[in-house]
Amino acid sequence: MKKKKLLLENDPSKTIFSDGKVKVSKNNSVFFFEIGKEMTQDLAEAVAIMMREVDFKSDIWNLEIQDVNIEDIIPEKSLFWLTGGYNEWRVLEHYNRPWCEAYLDFQEEFGFIIVNTIKRSKKLYEIRDNFIKYLNLPILYDFAVSKNLIR
């Protein structure tokens, strides 16, 4: 118990956004996102989760992002959420293979789009809008069909 208390007291991160659904902290150039029960440091994953959980009119989308370390972005994490998240990959109602067998196909095809989107974006809504444009459900579904990942 004492260790946790010391960690919290010595935590140099600053909360830069907080509302009922999302809390964003930043420590140097690392963002920490708490979205409902999910926590992540991956900016692309956070946007993909928020696309499912947060109203598009929320102020969170105007949050400026600077000095993002691209090496901290793991495309498979955001692709997991963009392709259905836990709802799809646990139940496998539509997919015929689990995520652990399918993610490499998705990452190989779409990983560069995620990384390039993060590189070019200055605000969260720009990431969201590019995900909607280039990684929307019909595009991901067509790819899954072409790879025989769909029932």
Return d(Cα 130, Cα 106) in angstroms, integer: 17
State percent of the chain over pLDDT 70: 92
Tens digits of residue pLDDT in 97-127: 999 999 999 999 999 999 999 999 999 999 9
Tens digits of residue pLDDT in 53-103: 999 999 999 999 988 889 999 999 999 999 999 999 999 999 999 999 999
Helices 75-82 and 43-53, axial angle in degrees (round to 10): 10
Does the predicted TM-score (pTM) go above 0.85? yes
C-alpha to C-alpha distances, 71 to 27, 55, 137, nearest whole angstrom: 16, 29, 26
H or E, element range at 14: strand 14-18
Return d(Cα 47, Cα 54) in angstroms, integer: 10
pLDDT score at 7 = 40
